[in-house]
A and B are shown apart, each in its own frame.
Chain A
Amino acid sequence: MIEVRVQTDPFDVGAELARLDRAGGGGVASFTGIVRDDGGLTELLLEHHPEMTIRMMRSLAEQATDRWQLMGVTLIHRHGPLHPGDPIVLVATAATHRGAALEACAALIDRLKTEAPFWKRETFADGRTSWVEPRAADDVAAARWLRDDS
């Protein structure tokens, strides 16, 4: 049961997790990303490559399902203008046991950050804008899961 969505609207974390509760597993793990108000940030604009985004997210979900024998996985990423406190991304996994659910959830958010074609532009209270630079730590986190594949 793979659910992958890219949308401007908010998502209902409770409803999404409740659906995975019924997937037949013994545990559901989730990660929700929230827009931080770093340094007076007033808006975070998410740009993406629509077709490639869906394709990459679906591929990540399928790989995680195979590797951790998931009963269900939900990936939701928002795009468009967001503001501090807004939920931006949801990763949720259902598996027979907690280890698989938790590990798959961590792997999915790590790989999503470095492989799904989204870009963030910050706008600050003084009107300044800047594109978010990638972090080397994110590459290290994602590479960990690729290495374990071998």
Chain B
Amino acid sequence: MDILYFAWVRERIGMNGERIAPPDGIVDVAGLIAWLVTRSPGHAEALADVSRLRVAIDQQFAGLDAPIAGAVEIAIFPPVTGG
């Protein structure tokens, strides 16, 4: 699946996104983030505080307990500040 990063999450990780295949046993957004944290120091810093993160699965906002099975795209970003 494609993981997309935006704003300071993108800056701290140092990439716009990545294609990943999470290991078996990772079933929801919280589990995915906990696994992504292990990928680099940048990931660990950007994703340390999940209360400051928002997630969209296939372009719909999703909670930390949302299942990731079948997702094509998961975006991880700070709370939005448009308008």
A residues whose Cβ falls under 8 Å from a Cβ of B: 33, 46-49, 51-52, 55-56, 77, 88-89, 109, 112-121, 131-134, 138
Contacts and interface: CB of A to CB of B under 8 A. Distances in A.
Given A49-B59, A52-B59, A121 B7 contact: yes
A88 to B, nearest CB: 8
A3 to B, nearest CB: 18
A118 B4 CA distance: 14
A95 to B, nearest CB: 21
A46 B82 contact: yes
B35 interface: no
What bracket does the count of chain B residues touching chain A fall in?
Answer: 10 to 19
B75 A52 contact: yes
A23 to B, nearest CB: 23
Given A117-B77, A119-B77, A121-B7, A49 B83 contact: no
Contact of A134 (B6, B56, B79): B79
